[in-house]
Each structure stands twice: as structure tokens, then as C-alpha cells.
Amino acid sequence: MAESSHVEMNAHQQTYGSFVRLLKYGAAACFVAAFVVILLIAN
């Protein structure tokens, strides 16, 4: 029982790490896209 819990926790941590990384890069891409749109509107 304890081993399966340990394996599940490792899987959870890997999934959460991937999610946070995706969120971080996705937010950066959104900011860049918004900046480009603002520049296009301003000109």
C-alpha cells in the first residue's frame, strides 16, 4: 500500500510540474501576443 502511494505521489508531482511549466510558457506567449496586437493597433 505504501509503495503504490509513493508511486502515485511521484506521478502527481511530475504531472503538476508539467502543468506549471505549460502555464508559465502559455502566459508568456499570451503577453507577447497581446503586446504585438497593441503595437499593431497603435500604428
Please tell me the predicted confidence (pLDDT) of residue 2: 60
How far apart CA 1 and CA 21 sit, in angstroms, is: 31
Please tell me the predicted confidence (pLDDT) of residue 6: 84
Please tell me the predicted confidence (pLDDT) of residue 13: 94
Please tell me the predicted confidence (pLDDT) of residue 17: 96
Please tell me the predicted confidence (pLDDT) of residue 23: 98
pLDDT digits (tens, 9 = 90+) for 1-43: 566 788 899 999 999 999 999 999 999 999 999 999 999 999 8
CA angle 28, 14, 23 (to 5 degrees): 15
